[in-house]
Structure 1
Amino acid sequence: MTKKLWNAVVAGGAVAVFTAMAAAPADAATGAVSYSQLSINGGKPIVIGIQETVRVPVTFRMTTSRTWRWPPVVYLYRGKGDYWESDSLRSGFGASDDYCPTKGKGSCVINDGWLSISPTVLDANGFAGTWKSGAYLSLPKDDDVSTDLKRSVQVQRATRVTVNAAPEPVVKGKTITVTGKVSRANWETGTYQGYAGRTVSLQFKADGASSYTTVKKVTSGSAGALKTTVKAAKSGTWRWNYYGNSTSGAKASTGDHVAVWSGVRVMHAPRVMHAR
């Protein structure tokens, strides 16, 4: 995955975009460059599927005594080698240049930066897990400074969860069977595959309620299948909720509504017609 960094600026626009992948950061003090007020995806894990490029919000403040040729680029990396040797994870980085011009010196503030990651750069499921974060600053005369931002980021494989509750409607006290499936992205095959052995919560929200309540927990089968039964008590919506783990994102299914009725029919007296 190690590649040299290329820089490109959108001509005439307010956005600078930096593509390809950088490499390993050096010591944070190298080159008199420091970073503060850092936020990558608001501290939340980065969840990536099999098709859509994920755009992650990034903010930071850079302070340096050096003159730069290009604004800093944030990326994720693993390893501790030099610029050319460690793996780096990024499809592109961009930001408004209102606060961080193409050429400058001193402080530089990025309030609306983004780190983009395409599933096409994820050719191994082992990429899921903990990554370090770094920043690359391009200097004149082909010089540069790479800095360890000392902030870890969790990268996760996206999950999908489905649900079906039947029969519907159902008589109160009868059995409702709730089925579904939990699967997760396989970056090596470009497909979603059943995720076995996962603890998934069956949740219910009664009509008129504002939130779901966990009814029971079920372990997914060998192909990620989910199945359980409950007694019909009141009308409402059923869903499965998987809370994720260090390498797989959290995901709840959509809801499936089931109407519950008493089963008692109201008999109306026949209408009597009077002859005139």
Structure 2
Amino acid sequence: MRATTRLALLGTSVALVATAVSATAAQAEDGGSGNITIDKVVVNGGKPVVVGTTNVVTAKVSVTASDDSGIKETTYITGDGPTPNYDQIWYDDGEITCVKVSVTTSTCTGTLTFDPQGGSAINGNSAAATWNLATLVSAHDYDYIHRDAATTFKVQRASKLTVNASPEPVKKGKTITVTGKLSRANWEDSLYHGYANQSVKLQFRKKGSSTYTTVKTIKTNSTGNLKTTVTASTDGYFRYSFAGTSTTPAANAAGDFVDVQ
């Protein structure tokens, strides 16, 4: 993170436009000049950026733009989350590379970095939200365009889901108890904590089948734990399945096999 003021040559007579970047990575309001357009912006292949508790996560960003004179550069790309969560990359630092698609169109790419250990972008659990992708693109004829929200993308707290079905083996018609836990990354203490009051499906896959079917839906308790019972009928695998929320991705537990005798 840095506080910087950049000066960009954007015209022959109006020569300089100042772009100030504060510690919150705020950019100028939407604007521009000429007929330059931003055609497409993709963050992380269109998927949410999922961050755990230890590993740095990177997300590729591509900005495709067009102008009748051709694209000169994408000056900056900024991921803006809830203050103070942001990450920024710069063309003149060699962090953004532009490739010509045609005479008029180029695609410029760079990588945003998300560090759950208090480094780039992730500053507490509030970072799990919808982010704006801001960018400034300029053309060879000095046309330029900047957008505070050229697109949006989600940053999510990684999730984990476990399952255990017992007893194993079990007699047909007897009760099977299925326990488990749903947890998610906490960026305040770098640990995983139970995700409370979430709907989770108990699913079963018969031995020899490749398809899980939902048996019932239950909710996690105040510590993220799951517990329910079913009647033993045939050999197969039990798992819990979580559909995800806006701040937390979907998760499936690995199936636990039960031998029914």
State the TM-score, normalizing by the size of structure 1.
Answer: 0.71
Hey, what's the Cα distance between the residues in 1 that align with 2:161 and 2:115?
22
Hey, what's the Cα distance between the residues in 2 that align with 1:49 and 1:117?
10
Of 3, 14, 24, the residue aligned with 2:26 is 24
Q: Offset at 1:225?
A: 0.9
- Give matches, 1:19-58, under 5 Å: 23-32=25-34, 33-58=36-61
Q: Which residue pairs with 1:13 in the alignment?
A: none
Hey, what's the Cα distance between the residues in 2 that align with 1:75 and 1:95?
11
- Give matches, 1:1-16, under 5 Å: 3-4=3-4
Long gaps (5+) in structure 1: 7-20, 80-85, 262-276
For 1:151, give the aligned amino acid.
T
The CA deviation string for residues 103-161 of structure 1, in whole angstroms up to 9 with x for no partner, is: xx963214x6543322234222112111111114589xxxx974334322122111111
- Give matches, 1:41-190, under 5 Å: 41-64=44-67, 68=72, 71-78=74-81, 87=84, 89-90=86-87, 94=95, 98-99=99-100, 107-110=105-108, 113-119=110-116, 120=118, 121-137=121-137, 146-190=146-190
Q: Which residue pairs with 2:219 in the alignment?
A: 219
Note closer, same or farther for the CA distance 1:235–1:3 as it changes in structure 2 (3 Å cut).
farther
Hey, what's the Cα distance between the residues in 1 that align with 2:43 and 2:138?
21
| Amino-acid identity (%) | 36
Structure 2 contact 31–146 (Cα < 8 Å) conserved: no
State the Cα RMSD in Å: 3.3
Hey, what's the Cα distance between the residues in 1 that align with 2:256 and 2:88?
38
Q: Which residue pairs with 1:273 in the alignment?
A: none
Structure 2 contact 204–214 (Cα < 8 Å) conserved: yes
Q: Offset at 1:178?
A: 0.8
Matched residue SS, 1:133: strand
Structure 1 contact 92–116 (Cα < 8 Å) conserved: no
Structure 1 contact 235–258 (Cα < 8 Å) conserved: yes
Q: Which residue pairs with 1:266 in the alignment?
A: none
Structure 1 contact 22–75 (Cα < 8 Å) conserved: no
For 1:77, give the aligned amino acid.
D
Hey, what's the Cα distance between the residues in 1 that align with 2:169 and 2:89?
50
Q: Offset at 1:187?
A: 0.6
Hey, what's the Cα distance between the residues in 1 that align with 2:87 and 2:195?
27
Structure 1 contact 4–22 (Cα < 8 Å) conserved: no
Note closer, same or farther for the CA distance 1:179–1:217 as it changes in structure 2 (3 Å cut).
same
Q: Which moved more, 1:115-124 or 1:144-153?
A: 144-153
Q: Offset at 1:232?
A: 0.9
Hey, what's the Cα distance between the residues in 1 that align with 2:255 and 2:237?
6
Q: Offset at 1:192?
A: 0.7
Aligned length: 232
Note closer, same or farther for the CA distance 1:91–1:173 as it changes in structure 2 (3 Å cut).
farther
Larger-Rg structure: 1
Matched residue SS, 1:237: strand
Q: Offset at 1:28?
A: 4.1
Hey, what's the Cα distance between the residues in 2 that align with 1:60 and 1:71?
8
For 1:218, give the aligned amino acid.
I
